[in-house]
């Protein structure tokens, strides 16, 4: 499934984010501890990512000289 077909409120696992958005798993793991990655949602011990949060985070990463 492409990222364009996803509902903005859908919650994704870390594996989903790696597959759909091509963000490395290790980066996502380290970003949680550093606080500089896409926002996470904790459900008990589970970590989930909202599609709209990932899209917004990616847009904020754009380098503008």
pLDDT in tens, 37-58: 999 999 999 999 999 999 999 9
- Give pTM, 2 decimals: 0.86
pLDDT of 63: 86
DSSP assignment letter at 19: H
Mean pLDDT computed over 7-15: 95
| Number of Cβ within a 10 Å radius of residue 37 | 19
Domain positions in the chain are 3-60
d(CA 64, CA 40): 26
- H-helix or E-strand spanning residue 38: none
**CATH number corresponding to 3-60:** 3.90.105
């Amino acid at each position: 499934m492409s990222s364009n077909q996803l509902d903005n409120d859908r919650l994704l696992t870390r594996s989903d984010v790696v597959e759909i958005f091509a963000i490395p798993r290790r980066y996502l793991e380290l970003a949680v501890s550093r606080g500089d990655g896409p926002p996470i949602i904790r459900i008990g011990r589970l970590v989930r990512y909202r599609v709209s949060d990932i899209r917004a985070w990616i847009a904020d990463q754009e380098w503008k000289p």
